[in-house]
Amino acid sequence: MAENVVELTDANFAAEVEQAEGVCLVDFWAEWCPPCRMVGPIIEELAGEYAGKVKVGKVDCDPNRETAGKFGITAIPSLIIFKGGEVAKRFIGVTAKDSLKAALDEALA
Amino acid sequence: MSNPKTYDVVIVGAAAAGLAAGIYAGRDRYKTAILEKDPFPGGQIMLTAHIANFPGHERITGPDLIQKMRNQAEGFGAEILVGQAVTGLRRGDDGVLEVEVESTGSSYRARAVILAPGSQYRQLGVPGETELRQAGRVSYCAVCDGPFYRDKHVLVVGGGNTAVEDAIYLATQFACRVTLIHRRREFRAQRILVEELYETAKTGTLDVKLPYVPKAIVADDTGAAIDHVVLENVETSETESLAVDGVFILVGTVPNTEFLRGTVDMDDRGYIACDPQTLQTSVPGVFVAGDCRAGAAMQLATACADGVLAALQAKEYLRNPQAWTETRAERTPVQGY
C-alpha cells in the first residue's frame, strides 16, 4: 500500500473512518476487478495531494465482506467520501480525478 | 502550450489496437507516443476474465495480455503516456498535426496520427437504470461485480458473446439463479457459447427468455435495491415483472469518438469513416484502428490487426506524405465494408 493510503479492514474500519471527525475517501476494490486497477493510481495521487487534509484508505472487498456489505457494495470500484463518519458522496465505476477533487473540496469547505 | 514535443507517430488510445500499432511503429524506429485517457492502458479487454479465441493463446486473461503488449510496445521504444484525454486534433501551419490535451495543458506534434480510442459499454436507457447504477445494482461488468451476487438472482441482458459468456460465468460461479433475456429469438454469440449456454440451462440455475427486452428497472422503497424488472415480450407486447437482486447489462458498446466530432468524418453512430484498404480517415495522415472505426469486427484479433495495418500505412504516408494528400484526399472515404 502506497504512502498516505491506509489499509482498511473489518477490524479497523470503525476506528479509522466511522469515528473519524474529518473527511475520508475510501476506495472499495478487489483483486479480480480490472477497472479498480485503473482507479488505484488516482487514489494514490489524491492521497498525496490531500495529505494532512483528507484520510485516504482502501478496502479490499474480498477479505472484508462485512464492511463491504455494511455499505451495500455490489459494484466496484465504489468510492465513498465520508464526512464526520457519515457517507457524504458515492461514486461508482472509473471516476475522473477532477470529479473526485471537486467532491473532496466540497466536503472540506 | 510552449514547445510541444514532436513525434513521428502519435497514437490516441492504449488498448489492443493502439498497443499493436505502437509495437509496429516503435519497431520501425519511429518516435512514437501512445496517449491514454485512463490512468491505466488496456481499455475494454481489461474486463475480460478469459480470452479463448486469440490465435496462439489457448487461454489468457485480458490484463495479462495487455501487460505483454505493453511490454512489447515499450520494449520497442514507444512511450505510453496515461491520463491524457485528447480534446483536439488539428493541422498546424507547417502541416504537422497537433494533438491537444486540455486537462493537462499538453500538446503533441505528430507527423502522422493513429486514432484508436476504442469503445465503451452501451447503456440501455430504460427508466431506473441510472439510479440503480448509482446504487450499485446495475452493472456493466460481470467480472467486476459477479462475486457480489453469491446465491442471488440476477438478470443478464444481451445476445452477443459477452452476454452469453457472462450469463454462464455468473450461473456457474456465483448466482443461484440467472435469467438471460435477449430481444431476438437467435443469439448473435458464437455457436460454441450458445451450446454451452443451453448445457448450463439444463442444470436449472439458468433460464433463457426470448425474445424479451427490459422496459424498466424498479427500485424498492429504500431506493437502494431492485424490487423488480419489467420485461416485455417483443412479439406479443405483453409485459411481466421479474424480481431480481441485480441486473447485468451486456448489450455491446459505443465508440469513444465524441472528442473527434467535426475533426474526422464519422457515420451517424459515431464510428470513424475510413478507406478499408488503408484505414486512412478523411484527414490525410490520420489513420484509425480498432472498435471505433466503421466496419470494425469488434474482436481482439481484428483490433490488433487494425493497429498493425494503420502503423504500416502510416509508414507509407511518412515516406511520401505529398502523394497521399494529392491523390487520396479527393477520394470519398468508404464507410465500412
Q: Splitting chain B (337 residues) into consecutive groups of 10 residues, what average pLDDT does each group show?
A: 84 98 98 92 83 91 92 98 93 93 92 96 95 94 93 97 95 97 97 97 96 98 96 98 98 94 94 96 96 93 98 96 63 46
Q: Is residue B332 part of a domain?
A: no
Read off the DSSP letter of residue B258.
Answer: G
pLDDT tens digits, one per residue of A55-89: 999 999 999 999 999 999 999 999 999 999 999 99
Closest CA to B14 of B315, B318, B311, B307: B307
Judge if B241 and B311 occupy the same domain. Answer: no
Given A34, A42, A75, which is nearest B136 (Cβ)?
Answer: A75
Same structural domain for residues B206 and B279? no
Residue of A38, A49, A80 to mutate, testing the B interface (most B Cβ within 10 Å of its Cβ): A38
By DSSP bridging, strand B239-242 and strand B226-233 are: antiparallel
Residues B229 and B257 in one domain: no
Q: Is residue B114 a part of any domain in this protein?
A: yes
Is residue B243 located within the same domain as residue B274? no
Residue type, B337: Y
C-alpha torsion B160→B165→B167→B173, nearest 10: -170
SS3 for B279? coil
Q: What is the pLDDT of residue B62?
A: 87
Q: Provide the annotated active-site residues of A.
A: 33, 36
Contact check, Cβ <8 Å, B143/A30: no
B72 and B217 fall within a common domain? no
Q: Which domain holds residue B215?
A: 123-249
Domain match, B144 and B196 both: yes
Question: What angle (nearest 5°) sits at the alpha carbon of residue A98, between those of residues A93 and A99?
Answer: 50
Q: Flag whether pLDDT at A1 surpasses 70.
A: no
- Looking at chain A, which residue has its C-alpha nearest residue B120? A94
- Minimal C-alpha gap between A73 and chain B (Å): 7
**A33 and B143 in contact by Cβ < 8 A?**
yes
Here the cell at position B297 is: 469486427
Same-domain check for residues B127 and B238:
yes
Domain check: are B202 and B243 in the same one? Answer: yes
Name the residue of chain B whose CA is nearest to A40's CA: B39
Q: Which of B290, B284, B278 is nearest to B334 (CA)?
A: B278
pLDDT of residue A26: 98
- Domain total in chain B: 2
3-state secondary structure of B264: coil
What local confidence, expressed as pLDDT, does residue B2 receive? 52
Q: What is the ipTM, given to two decimal places?
A: 0.83
Domain containing A36 equals: 5-108
Other beta carbons within 10 Å of B311: 27
Q: How many CB atoms lie within 10 A of CB A91?
A: 19
Global pTM reads 0.79
Q: How far is A34 from chain B (nearest CA, A)?
A: 6
The β-bridge relationship of strands B106-115 and B226-233 is: unpaired
Question: Amino acid letter at B316?
Answer: E
User: Could you tell me how many CB contacts below 8 A there are between chain A and chain B?
Assistant: 74
A38: nearest Cα among B209, B297, B47: B47
DSSP letter (8 states) at residue B50: -
Domain with residue A21: its CATH number is 3.40.30.10
In-domain check, residue B148: yes
Query: Which tens digits make up the pLDDT trace of B268-301?
Result: 999 999 999 999 999 999 999 999 999 998 899 9
A40, A92, A94 ranked by CB distance to B136: nearest = A92
* Active-site residue set of B: 141, 144-145
Asked if the Cβ–Cβ distance from A37 to B63 is below 8 Å, we say: yes
Out of A36, A62, A74, the one facing B137 most closely (by C-beta) is A74
In a domain, B336, yes or no: no
Q: Of the candidates B219, B249, B279, which is a domain's last residue?
A: B249
B75 in a structural domain: yes
pLDDT at position B337 is: 39
Number of structural domains, chain A? 1
B334 is a domain residue: no
- B263 with B307, same domain: the answer is yes
pLDDT of residue B104: 84
Check the CA dihedral B44-A37-B129-B270 and report its sign. negative
User: Which residue among B82, B103, B148 sits closest to A73, beta carbon to beta carbon?
Assistant: B148
Tell me how long chain B is.
Answer: 337
Taking any CB pair shorter than 8 Å as contact, residues of chain A touching chain B are 30, 32-42, 61-62, 68, 72-76, 78, 90, 92, 94, 97-98
Length of chain A: 109
Q: Select from B183, B215, B249 the last residue of a domain.
A: B249
Name the closest residue on chain A to residue B48, using Cα atoms. A34
Average of per-residue pLDDT values in chain A: 93
Same domain, B91 and B237: no
CATH number of B114's domain: 3.50.50.60
Q: Quick check: B90 and B108 in contact, CB under 8 A?
A: no
